[in-house]
Amino acid sequence: MAKPISIEVWNPAGKHRVVSTKSMPGTRWIRLLTDADCRLEICTEKKTILDVEDIQALIGDKCDGVIGQLTEDWGETLFSTLKRAGGTAFSNMAVGYNNVDLNAANTYGIAVGNTPGVLTETTAELAVALTVSASRRVVEADQFMRAGLYDGWLPHLFVGNLLKGQTVGIIGAGRIGSAYARMMVEGFKMNLIYYDLYQSTRLEKYMTAYGEFLKSQGEAPVTWKRASTAEDVLRDADVISLHPILDKTTYHLINKDRLSIMKKEAVLVNASRGPVIDEAALVNHLKANPMFRVGLDVFEDEPYMKPGLAEQKNAVVVPHIASASKWTREGMATLAALNVLGKVKGYPVWPDANKLEPFLDENSAPPAACPSIVNAKLLGLEVSKL
Ligand SMILES: NC(=O)C1=CN([C@@H]2O[C@H](COP(=O)(O)OP(=O)(O)OC[C@H]3O[C@@H](n4cnc5c(N)ncnc54)[C@H](O)[C@@H]3O)[C@@H](O)[C@H]2O)C=CC1
Ligand SMILES: O=C(O)C(=O)CO
């Protein structure tokens, strides 16, 4: 028998049953669904991470689509349950979808949505915040102050690293990696080295133009380089920020060997996914190298930290909040809802998931399309001509 699970129902007479496994910020997403004849059921269970059984209970016997979260395990069991309930759509309220087994979704013909773009700047800004906090020892200094230990200015008190003129390294120069690179380069006049499987022509053009601009102002130009290996970035950079997707190629990309080639006083930031770093190896490295610093938004076994990490003063840790600005979270909710709604209504897929502004304009109706379906091609979904 299915577990009892608490829900809040909107528009009970709606024709299409859509389930959201969590309450999400804002109300626009709710309005968009209910105005389009959906009965929306929002799970209000007081449990942060729902397990597969909880979600099966939510899906029930009839469900057209589900809006879910990156903490959930969307694999064979959930996609087959959704298919049996007549569902055709699932959307993560996230850009990353490493919690989703796309092969299983494809097997059951379920469209999988994500929420790119709307979180790019917000996430990059938090990565910058972690970089500065780690470089300048902001959290350590804050704790020292609150503990009443400050008894006057001293030449050696909380000396950290200057960013200006140093080299910032990016691994994964996609939307967020490129936005972060620009913030660091513009903000701190840093030189750039990046590694990605693909060339980021846009970022390279920007770097060249910005260097020219600085020169025209009589300032030292910034330089850039595309590295041919991740190791080249790790060896050369003073600050390294990780922004790749999580998949087989990036799992434990930062491991004991790669940590050992980094500068002893480097700053490492991770706002991508926890398993990109071998966290146990990182803890050992932090212990052995007190001048090496990290800023972490994500962890290998969320919500837990590996033993020893919490005690390391050279680590700044925050609980996966990189996309947590009001505008972004409301936008993510809107995109996730529109992915599901679009598929339920039989709309085509938006042609460019990097240009989703029309869906985010609160003053106009969104286009009749699914903003971002990651398996659209595989499912042979029609592309919008709008
Ligand atoms: N901490 C947080 O709250 C957030 C975390 N994220 C994470 O950030 C990731 C990136 O997001 P976007 O920039 O929007 O995605 P994106 O797809 O624009 O960028 C990812 C980049 O990683 C590159 N990449 C893939 N495999 C690689 C490899 N083996 N080595 C080097 N580069 C590789 C890709 O070529 C691409 O350029 C998401 O997949 C998600 O996991 C995203 C938003 C918020
Ligand atoms: O969107 C993502 O992938 C996140 O991690 C949360 O914003």
129 and 39 fall within a common domain: no
The atom of ligand 2 lying closest to the CA of 94 is 1
d(CA 368, ligand 1 centre) in Å: 28
Please state, in angstroms and rounded to a whole number, the distance separating the CA atoms of residues 31 and 21: 17
Q: Compute the average pLDDT of residues 251-265.
A: 98
Q: Would residue 2 count as lying in a domain?
A: no
Please state, in angstroms and rounded to a whole number, the distance separating the CA atoms of residues 277 and 256: 9
Q: For strand 7-10 and strand 38-43, is the pairing parallel, antiparallel, or unpaired? A: antiparallel
Q: Would residue 386 count as lying in a domain?
A: no
Q: What angle do CA 161, 165, 167 make, to 5 degrees?
A: 80
Count of domains forming the chain: 2
- The last residue of one of the domains, among 271, 298, 317, is 317
74 phi and psi angles, rounded to 5 deg: -90, 95
Residue type, 200: S
d(CA 158, ligand 2 centre) in Å: 32
90 and 171 fall within a common domain: no
Q: Does ligand 2 lie within 6 Å of residue 323's CB atom?
A: yes
112 and 148 fall within a common domain: no
Q: Would residue 293 count as lying in a domain?
A: yes
- The last residue of one of the domains, among 276, 292, 317, is 317
Q: Active site includes 243?
A: no
Encode pLDDT of 30-74 as tens digits: 999 999 999 999 999 999 999 999 999 999 999 999 999 999 999
Neighbour count for residue 7 (Cβ, 10 Å)? 14
User: What is the SS3 assignment for 41?
Assistant: strand
Please state, in angstroms and rounded to a whole number, the distance separating the CA atoms of residues 386 and 377: 18
With a cut of 90, say whether residue 211 has pLDDT above it: yes
The answer to whether 332 touches 323, Cβ cutoff 8 Å, is yes
Band the pLDDT of 386: cuts 50, 70, 90.
Answer: confident
Q: Does ligand 2 lie within 6 Å of residue 119's CB atom?
A: yes
> Burial letters for 337-355: b for 16+ Cβ neighbours within 10 Å, e otherwise?
bbbbbbbbbebbbbeebee
Please state, in angstroms and rounded to a whole number, the distance separating the CA atoms of residues 149 and 156: 15
Q: Active site includes 17?
A: no
228 and 187 fall within a common domain: yes
d(CA 274, ligand 2 centre) in Å: 12
d(CA 85, ligand 2 centre) in Å: 27
Encode pLDDT of 356-382 as tens digits: 999 999 999 999 999 999 999 999 999
User: What is the SS3 assignment for 85?
Assistant: coil
Look at the alpha carbons of 263, 268, 273, 279 in this order and tell me if their dihedral is positive or negative. positive
39 and 130 fall within a common domain: no
Encode pLDDT of 86-99 as tens digits: 999 999 999 999 99
Nearest protein Cα to ligand 2, atom 7: 323
Q: Does ligand 2 lie within 6 Å of residue 70's CB atom?
A: yes
**What is the pTM (predicted TM-score) of this model?**
0.98
Band the pLDDT of 3: cuts 50, 70, 90.
Answer: confident
Containing H/E element for 142?
helix 138-146
Beta strands across the sheet bearing 16-20: 7-10, 38-43, 16-20, 65-68, 89-92, 111-113
300 and 333 fall within a common domain: no
Complex prediction ipTM: 0.99
**Residue 191's beta-bridge partner residues?**
167
Encode pLDDT of 108-133 as tens digits: 999 999 999 999 999 999 999 999 99
Q: What pLDDT is stored for residue 1 in this prediction?
A: 57
87 and 15 fall within a common domain: yes
The answer to whether 119 touches 328, Cβ cutoff 8 Å, is yes
Q: Which range of residues forms the domain containing residue 37?
A: 7-118+324-379
311 and 351 fall within a common domain: no
CATH number of the domain that residue 277 is part of: 3.40.50.720
46 and 80 fall within a common domain: yes
Q: Active site includes 156?
A: no
290 and 310 fall within a common domain: yes
- The last residue of one of the domains, among 287, 317, 347, is 317
77 and 100 fall within a common domain: yes
Please state, in angstroms and rounded to a whole number, the distance separating the CA atoms of residues 218 and 216: 5
Which one of the listed residues 273, 285, 293, 329 is annotated catalytic? 273
Strands annotated E in 203-352: 224-226, 239-242, 267-270, 293-296, 315-317
Q: Would residue 333 count as lying in a domain?
A: yes
108 and 126 fall within a common domain: no
